[in-house]
Amino acid sequence: MKNAVKKPLILNLLDILHKTDLESIEGNKKNLQNDVINMDDIIIDFVEKPELKNAVLIEGLPGVGNVGKLAVEHLIDEIEAEKFADIHSIYFPPQVLVDEDGLSKLVNNRLYYKKDVGLDNVDLIFLTGDYQGMTPQGQYQLTDRILSLSKELGVEMVFSLGGYSHGDIVDKPEVLGASTTTQKIEEMKELDVKFSEEHPSSGIIGASGLLLGLGQKLYDITGVCLMGETSGYFVDPGAARAVLKKLMRYLGEEISYEKLDEKAEEVEELTSKVQDMGGMQQQEAGSEDLSYIG
């Protein structure tokens, strides 16, 4: 019987290393797959967990004219609310934002709070952020998670703030409303908030609507949506100001609107230039109603 030809020692070592590398790669793949599968859809990172009573949630996320976002972020600055949580989710765009210094930040939503606001010394929670959920499932999941946390923190009422776009330039925006109770409708009417069966004809889309619908149905939270009239073509500080003034009258709180007024003047100048250039096109008569609240 002939002797088997033995591999040189160096080849045996290479075979062992190759096999080990393959096993390591496969193991890493499995770990990565497990990480993805086990990753939470929504992650809330708390800076602190405030103790609140009879609290009100005020939402202002990006939407038409960024009316709600502008309003809430202005209010946060004016009353010096404190951030208590960041919300990250796979339902947000796969994106980071980069600031002027080149620093990147994963897109998120943020929660703030302020105690003892207004005549009745109510506690407020503010929800704002970079994006809303990208899909219907994401909208429902995120809204449910926010409402669940809000209920845990003692929230009994929610205000969702947004814009109502009808395609025309608005010089003096009115504020339209919707609510989950007739009592709140009457209270808002006393503040000259307009309620109509015709508007918004397409309903309230996104977080502004779901906070009312899910809040009432699942968490027994009373809801009011305040919508500032806006063209929908530009960021609209004027509409944000109109919405905030109604909300502040309801809460009995005084704030300055100077920064919003400055932004509104800048937008008015831009609007005038676009109109002079003939850049604004009127919607065709009888076209489909694409009004949107957000």
- pLDDT tens sequence across 77-104: 999 999 999 999 999 999 999 999 999 9
Amino acid at 213: G
pLDDT band at 285 (very low <50, low <70, confident <90, very high): very low
CA pair distance 137, 127, nearest whole angstrom: 19
pLDDT given for residue 260 in this prediction: 93
Q: What is the pLDDT of residues 191-213, one digit of tens each?
A: 999 998 766 666 899 999 999 99
pLDDT given for residue 266 in this prediction: 84
Residue with tokens 């990147």: 104
* Mean pLDDT calculated for residue range 147-173: 93
189 within 8 A of 138, measured Cβ to Cβ? no
pLDDT given for residue 3 in this prediction: 52
Domain ranges of the chain: 42-276
User: Residue 98 CA to chain centroid, in angstroms?
Assistant: 19
pLDDT given for residue 269 in this prediction: 78
> Which class is domain 42-276?
alpha beta
- Give the total residue count for the chain: 294
159 within 8 A of 59, measured Cβ to Cβ? yes
pLDDT band at 247 (very low <50, low <70, confident <90, very high): very high
CA pair distance 108, 95, nearest whole angstrom: 10
Q: What is the pLDDT of residues 103-159, one digit of tens each?
A: 999 999 999 999 999 999 999 999 999 999 999 999 999 999 999 999 999 999 999
Strand order in the sheet with 175-179: 42-46, 82-89, 109-117, 122-129, 55-59, 155-165, 222-230, 175-179
Q: What is the pLDDT of residues 18-73, one digit of tens each?
A: 665 556 556 555 554 444 444 689 999 999 999 999 999 999 999 999 999 999 99
pLDDT given for residue 26 in this prediction: 60
pLDDT band at 283 (very low <50, low <70, confident <90, very high): very low
